[in-house]
């Protein structure tokens, strides 16, 4: 087998190619994000992914398309000679949470699903303790879209200092904070408290997520890139551990590895968490010839600084159209 000097693992969350065999057990019978996107667009163009072989997953070669309820992608012709290999995997672990899937890709088999609070929100006992510890009254406490809950409650949060807490279909507790009025440091502090509280078995969510945003009124709110995930540590040895043991360097551009855990940063004396993340971003940028900026980058303080650095040091700057 050919050896590669560098391997990139890129995960496209929520972009499935049909439901899993046990999809019905999780209310996902018939799920097919990729196929449904194609159905909704008359001229869906994904040339790079098509050349790699993504469209060849619809239907599976040699398998009746109704086995997984997959049909050829509307308007997208499969590659006759794809550049890459393509296949569909069924998750072995129990649960449909994002982190469960990420862990399994790295070698961890989860037998007990993470607890979710999708149907009724978080229990009153957890909400009360979180209010007492943070000093903020909690609003929201339901499953919601991250953008919709900002339109619904962000003006109240800005005016009162209350704290938006919500969840989703995943095992997550998410906290919103306006960068100008709530402040990033305060948002991170509250999330650290929430992470500590949700280590109890009955409240043990996979992730606590800081969801900073900017804007002053409904219709203007935008989430920024200063998001931070406080995830549970893996329950066993991962593929990353095996690579490190073999002497390979692991680069995680999401900064979710142990080096960026609260404990490790405190050991190193870090007092400005956003600056620590920015420093790592600039270090990664030093290895690149170009920098790609997605729509809305100018709304995030960190992205603006990264953009200034890319321009000042002569990187090719590419903007999402």
In angstroms, the CA 167 to CA 180 distance is: 23
Examine the pLDDT at 60 and tell me if it is beyond 50: no
pLDDT confidence of residue 67: 46
- pLDDT for 169-200, tens place per residue? 889 999 999 999 999 999 999 999 999 999 99
Q: Phi/psi zone of residue 269: left (φ > 0), alpha (ψ -120 to 50 degrees), beta?
A: left
Examine the pLDDT at 111 and tell me if it is beyond 70: yes
pLDDT confidence of residue 148: 92
At 155, the pLDDT band (50, 70, 90 cuts) reads very high
What is the average per-residue pLDDT within 295-319? 89
Examine the pLDDT at 164 and tell me if it is beyond 90: yes
What is the average per-residue pLDDT within 27-42? 85
- Helices and strands (DSSP H and E) totals, the chain: 10, 8
At 16, the pLDDT band (50, 70, 90 cuts) reads confident
Examine the pLDDT at 257 and tell me if it is beyond 50: yes
Examine the pLDDT at 256 and tell me if it is beyond 80: no
In angstroms, the CA 132 to CA 127 distance is: 9
- Burial class, 262, CB count within 10 angstroms (exposed 0-12 / middle 13-18 / buried 19+): middle
Examine the pLDDT at 276 and tell me if it is beyond 60: yes
Helical axes 124-134 vs 184-197, angle rounded to 10°: 140
How many residues make up the chain in this entry?
Answer: 321
Examine the pLDDT at 66 and tell me if it is beyond 60: no
pLDDT confidence of residue 70: 52
Examine the pLDDT at 249 and tell me if it is beyond 70: yes
What is the average per-residue pLDDT within 250-276? 70
Looking at per-residue pLDDT, the higher value among 3 and 111 belongs to: 111
Whole-number average pLDDT of the chain: 85
CB atoms within 10 A of CB 164: 26
Min mean pLDDT across 6-10, 110-114, 133-137, 313-317 is at 6-10
At 62, the pLDDT band (50, 70, 90 cuts) reads very low
pTM as predicted = 0.68
Q: Phi/psi zone of residue 95: left (φ > 0), alpha (ψ -120 to 50 degrees), beta?
A: left
Examine the pLDDT at 19 and tell me if it is beyond 60: yes
Nearest to 252 by CA among 86, 110, 102, 87: 102
Min mean pLDDT across 229-233, 252-256, 307-311, 317-321 is at 252-256
């Amino acid at each position: 087998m050919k050896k590669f000097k560098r391997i990139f693992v890129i995960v496209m969350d929520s972009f499935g190619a049909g439901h899993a065999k046990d999809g019905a057990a999780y209310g996902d019978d018939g799920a097919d994000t990729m196929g449904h996107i194609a159905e909704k667009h008359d001229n869906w163009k994904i040339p790079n992914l098509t050349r790699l072989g993504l469209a060849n997953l619809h239907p599976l070669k040699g398998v009746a398309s109704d086995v997984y309820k997959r049909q050829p992608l509307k308007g997208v012709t499969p590659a006759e000679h794809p550049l890459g290999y393509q296949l569909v995997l069924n998750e072995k672990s129990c649960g449909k949470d994002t982190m469960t899937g990420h862990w399994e890709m790295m070698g961890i088999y989860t037998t007990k699903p993470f607890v979710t609070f999708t149907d009724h929100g978080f229990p009153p006992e957890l909400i009360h303790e979180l209010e007492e510890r943070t000093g903020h009254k909690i609003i929201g406490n339901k499953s919601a879209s991250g953008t919709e809950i900002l339109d619904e409650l962000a003006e109240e949060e800005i005016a009162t200092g209350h704290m938006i807490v919500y969840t989703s279909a995943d095992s997550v507790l998410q906290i919103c904070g306006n960068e100008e009025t709530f402040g990033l440091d305060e948002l991170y502090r509250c999330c650290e408290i929430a992470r500590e509280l949700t280590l109890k078995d009955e409240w043990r969510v996979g992730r606590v997520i800081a969801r900073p945003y900017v804007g002053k009124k409904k219709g203007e709110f935008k989430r920024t890139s200063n998001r931070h995930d406080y995830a549970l540590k893996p329950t066993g040895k991962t593929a990353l551990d095996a690579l490190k043991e073999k002497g390979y360097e692991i680069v995680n551009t999401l900064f979710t590895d142990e080096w960026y855990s609260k404990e490790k940063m405190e050991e190193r004396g870090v007092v400005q968490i956003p600056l620590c993340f920015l420093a790592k971003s600039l270090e990664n940028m030093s290895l690149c010839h170009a920098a790609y900026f997605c729509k809305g980058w100018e709304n995030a303080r960190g992205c603006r600084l990264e953009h200034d650095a890319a321009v000042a040091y002569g990187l090719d700057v590419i903007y999402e159209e």
